[in-house]
Structure 1
Amino acid sequence: MTTVHLDPRERQLKSLLLDAAAYMDRTRANSEAEPGSTPQQQPKDEPLVLRWAGGWVRDKLLGRQSHDIDVAINCMTGEVFGNQLREFCDNPANKDKHNLRKEDIGNLHKIAKNPDKSKNLETATVKIFGLDIDFVNLRTETYAEDSRNPEMDFGTAEEDASRRDATVNALFYNIHTDEIEDFVGGVADIERKVIRTPMEPFQTFMDDPLRVLRLVRFASRLQFTIADHVKDFMGDKRVLDALRVKISRERVGVEVEKMLKGEHPRDAVRYIQDLGLYHTVFTDPTNGDMVQPNLTGWRETYSFLHSFPTHPLYDVLVTSDEERYLAWVLACIVPFSRVPFDAANYRKKPLAAMLAAREGIKAPNKITEIVTAAMLHREEIVDLKNIVVQGTEHVNERDYFGMRIRAWDARDKHWRLQVLFAMLDDIMHQAQQLASKDSVTSTEAASDVSEAIDAVHRDWQAFINHLKRLDLLDSPSIKPLVDGRLLARALGLKPGKWMASALDICMAWQLRNPQETDPAGAIEEVRQQKEELGIADLLS
């Protein structure tokens, strides 16, 4: 018999729920159905059985800590149970028995069905003893072939287990018997570290195509292997077409975000490539003409990012957990880096890379703006890197580099991540060029790619080292000596179109003269360039 060890909070929760269930059983027989409730919302006439379900059970068996518990209820909906639990907890005698403080139980929130977002189940959620609890009834699902929204009804624990995405997520802990209930072989699959669907995989994915991405996420997170017979259908064209049509892109984006924020983003991305999911995930599903970029060299690119944290350069370019996630988003978008675009008209005709982020995974504006900036500035960033590597003109001109870095970083565009994007593009392009070479063995090809990546890394390290020597890594945060008000007053002019360019002249002067604290020299520089600024007549 398989069981689990509960920590003190979990034991306290179990005791509370068992007492509440007994209370509900005693009072339910005399209660009437709530006015206006549907048959599916009305309690079934059988004793309450509560099971902790899914991920919490899996994580317990794996020795992982989990603060989220799904409570599966056999005979009433989550909302009905949650409301009656609140009534039970409001009783002073029950408060005393379970040592309930006001802060121990939060407000109950109903999460309604939302078919447009592929949210087909009504649940109730509440925080109890610091644990996030979801209440939901055991259910069966019946899918029509032309609909993404299933018909839901009360079901048995076995029926509920069979409709879940993976056997390892289909386990129950029965709090009444203190036993693990395994109807689909999930315990054995955990021991074997295998991801498998409870039902036949093709039907599982056609019923809910999002399960394809969920299995990728769980396989990478748990470091499990997806069973071969399951993988065979994950990239099936019919399944991928259903994923495009039936599932909201918001839910696709949520899964991708969880993958990339997890401990093993490289493994998730590798599954996306190996299973042929890339062009379904990173696309604009409403655009039939959306370009499908060449993925040659992409494996080498994200594999480099996976190993990159061991190198000092990584800590310069990626400075926070948020930027780690953004770095992986950029790695997923980098196949679009060489897709042609109209830089002068990019607002009216968005870049394919931006569409892949905005429409494919519903990335927020901040991320799409970083993607767009990385694309727009890539060639200029590469040009500056080449100046350093080749030691050509401007190499020691602090203002030449500093002003460009400040422009890249304007409005929080994360200039260091833009440099990383250019570096990843460099690696992918080198790998693509080497892949096109003929008459080399696989061993020779791998060696050539490794040497090319090392060379790319050295060049970009040299670029960043040069910026360090010029003391420009923090140039976007340099406080200007001259602001618009001071400049207008010093020149005796009203602010106008000339002001932005004049302030750039002041900042460039400041970058050339980092020890100066007197703004007079910067203002004089503006006077000397009055012709270029179009203010000569105004100053005479």
Structure 2
Amino acid sequence: MAAASNPRPTITPTITLTLTPREEQLRALLLGAAKFIDDRDLGSSRESAAPPGREPLVLRWAGGWVRDKLLGTESHDIDTAINAMTGEAFVDGLRAYCDEPDRRERHGLRAEDVGRLHTVPRNPDKSKHLATSTIRLCGLDVDFVNLRRETYTEESRNPTVEFGTAEEDALRRDATVNALFYNLHTGQVEDLVGGLADLGHRLIRTPMDPLQTFLDDPLRVLRLVRFASRLGFRIDPAAEEVMADERVLGMLKVKISRERIGVELEKMLKGKRPVEALRLIDRLGLYHAVFTDPERADMPKPETASWKSAYECLDFLEVNKTPGSIYDLLVTSEEARYYGWALATLTPWEQLPDDPPLSSGKPALPLPTQAAREGFKAPNKLSDVITAAHRHRPAILRLRDIVRDRREGLDERDRFGMAIRDWDSRGGNWRLQVLFAILVDLAERVAPAGEKGGSASRDDVLAEWQRFLDHLVELDVMNAPSIKRLVDGKILAKELGVKPGRWTGPALDVALAWQLRNPGVEDPAGAIEEVRRRREELGIP
């Protein structure tokens, strides 16, 4: 791994942190365990299992916890770096230390304060180069891993991982602000790569040469985007210059599993300001490396010039949420919020024609669904919503136009209610399908802020959609998918004197449409009569 062109001097400022009572309890416990393990392994016992020449243990809390502590942000996850022992071996010694009742009492440990050990094995093919041991301690999730250095060669995409020093460990990290240590023994912050200065300047910078850093592990490109958007920091211009380098993006496609890309994207979109992450992805030219099917050689590349209008609109709607507003009516949970932002990332794909039908005659999976499912491994539930949003968008626009233009059918409650039930039954979460239609409409009709073009203003387009949703509220069909039917198939079959068959589903829809036209009526007789009247049309024997 090449050194940075202008490396900062190694410094260890005298900075202390104020720990919470639980953090103090954890620190004392870990120091006690370290001394116990050293006494056991480095003592005179002939049964010592210590590696020859092992140094006494030094424990450091590393990375995000130190950064967040210095920023005044609460953190419940702590990474513990160990100088001379693997994480799994240390946790084994820690549990042996905690087995003695007097030690548990000395540290004030309750039964639930020491959880079960969970080890995530190394997986070089997915850029997981070292096993990590995790255990719940004193109400905190604590990871243990040894300090290491990583050496990359051109012959292999996976590094050689060895025990390393604190400085070598700091240098291999993705950003200087994530390379700070808190030494449990001295109670001081250790800064070996200039992270404190960068924290003060609100700067995301790589400890080593940025291009080599990204070629070694291309996922660091997305991690820097996530940290910059989460913290409100700017990315070092030297790093920005090479984040979209063709070599880096090429390695991102072949070296990093799409599951890991999905994890980074999910964290971005679930953060407080997902729009900041999308602005960076857009500005830095990263879109096609993330939202694509890397296994498909002929995967098209949509234009992204108008994408900004879509994600900026969603941010505008979220920030300006009020009772009865578009966002308030359509985004009703934290999961829906994440799905909404995921849908916003896929609006560029709507400008492209669908793939030809499959050899079986079935329609091909929509391109936005392919980009999500294969690009960032969207879960099935989200993929279903994306597919439905794409396929139902024309129908959603037609109903919007009826309201906007005051066309015939405006007051037909059954038309709107049955459409909503159909959208929801074929993919789920019809509200997000409408949100997708809104964002695509904005991208198609409104030029990004500061740019020329576009046939309408954002306010005018959103006013049209607000009127549409207000009309759905007035018709009282927002909860149409959950309306309880007055009649079921058995009741209809009995009343009509026939056996259930292929006619049952369409007949039930006729009955439900009657029900929607007659809100508040609880007697099913009218619905049954409507089915009887249309008996021949429905093919009822």
5 Å-filtered alignment, 1:16-415, equals: 16-29=29-42, 30=45, 45-309=54-318, 310-311=320-321, 312-341=325-354, 349-410=364-425, 413-415=428-430
Cα-to-partner distance string for 1:75-126 (whole Å, 9 max, x where unaligned) = 0000000000000000122112112111111011111112233211101100
| Counterpart residue identity of residue 20, structure 1 | A
| Counterpart residue identity of residue 158, structure 1 | E
* Contact 2:60/2:184 (8 A) holds in 1: yes
Question: 1:263 Cα deviation (Å)?
Answer: 0.5
Per the alignment, do residues 295 and 42 of structure 1 end up closer, same or farther by CA in structure 2, a change over 3 Å counting? farther
Per the alignment, do residues 146 and 369 of structure 1 end up closer, same or farther by CA in structure 2, a change over 3 Å counting? farther
| Counterpart residue identity of residue 468, structure 1 | V
CA distance in 1, matches of 2:432, 2:46: 61
Find the partner of 1:422 among 409, 412, 437.
437
User: Equivalent residue for 2:11?
Assistant: none
Question: 1:451 Cα deviation (Å)?
Answer: 5.4
User: Equivalent residue for 2:4?
Assistant: none
| Counterpart residue identity of residue 244, structure 1 | K
Unaligned runs of 5+ in 2: 1-13
Question: 1:341 Cα deviation (Å)?
Answer: 1.5
| Counterpart residue identity of residue 525, structure 1 | E
Unaligned runs of 5+ in 1: 35-40, 436-441
Q: Which moved more, 1:46-55 or 1:296-305?
A: 296-305
CA distance in 2, matches of 1:287, 1:43: 52
Q: TM-score, normalised by structure 1?
A: 0.93
* Contact 2:66/2:182 (8 A) holds in 1: yes
Find the partner of 2:511 among 506, 510, 514.
506
* Contact 1:42/1:76 (8 A) holds in 2: no
| Counterpart residue identity of residue 454, structure 1 | D
Q: Percent identity?
A: 56
* Matched pairs, number: 520
Task: Please tell me whether residue 9 in structure 1 is matched to residue 32 in structure 2.
Answer: no
Determine which structure has the larger helix proportion and give its number: 1
CA distance in 2, matches of 1:502, 1:343: 34
Per the alignment, do residues 487 and 44 of structure 1 end up closer, same or farther by CA in structure 2, a change over 3 Å counting? farther
Q: Which moved more, 1:258-267 or 1:310-319?
A: 310-319
CA distance in 2, matches of 1:4, 1:520: 74
* Contact 2:356/2:364 (8 A) holds in 1: no
CA distance in 2, matches of 1:50, 1:479: 61
5 Å-filtered alignment, 1:443-522, equals: 445=451, 452-522=457-527
Per the alignment, do residues 27 and 33 of structure 1 end up closer, same or farther by CA in structure 2, a change over 3 Å counting? closer
Question: 1:517 Cα deviation (Å)?
Answer: 0.8
Cα-to-partner distance string for 1:409-449 (whole Å, 9 max, x where unaligned) = 11661111111100101100013xx58xxxxxx96x56x75
Cα-to-partner distance string for 1:359-398 (whole Å, 9 max, x where unaligned) = 0010000000000000000011001000011011111111
For residue 6 of structure 1, give the secondary structure of its aligned residue in structure 2: coil
Per the alignment, do residues 199 and 297 of structure 1 end up closer, same or farther by CA in structure 2, a change over 3 Å counting? same
| Counterpart residue identity of residue 16, structure 2 | T
Q: TM-score, normalised by structure 2?
A: 0.93
| Counterpart residue identity of residue 408, structure 2 | E
Per the alignment, do residues 342 and 480 of structure 1 end up closer, same or farther by CA in structure 2, a change over 3 Å counting? farther
* Contact 1:43/1:76 (8 A) holds in 2: no
| Counterpart residue identity of residue 200, structure 1 | D
* Contact 1:343/1:376 (8 A) holds in 2: no
CA distance in 2, matches of 1:396, 1:42: 81
For residue 280 of structure 1, give the secondary structure of its aligned residue in structure 2: helix
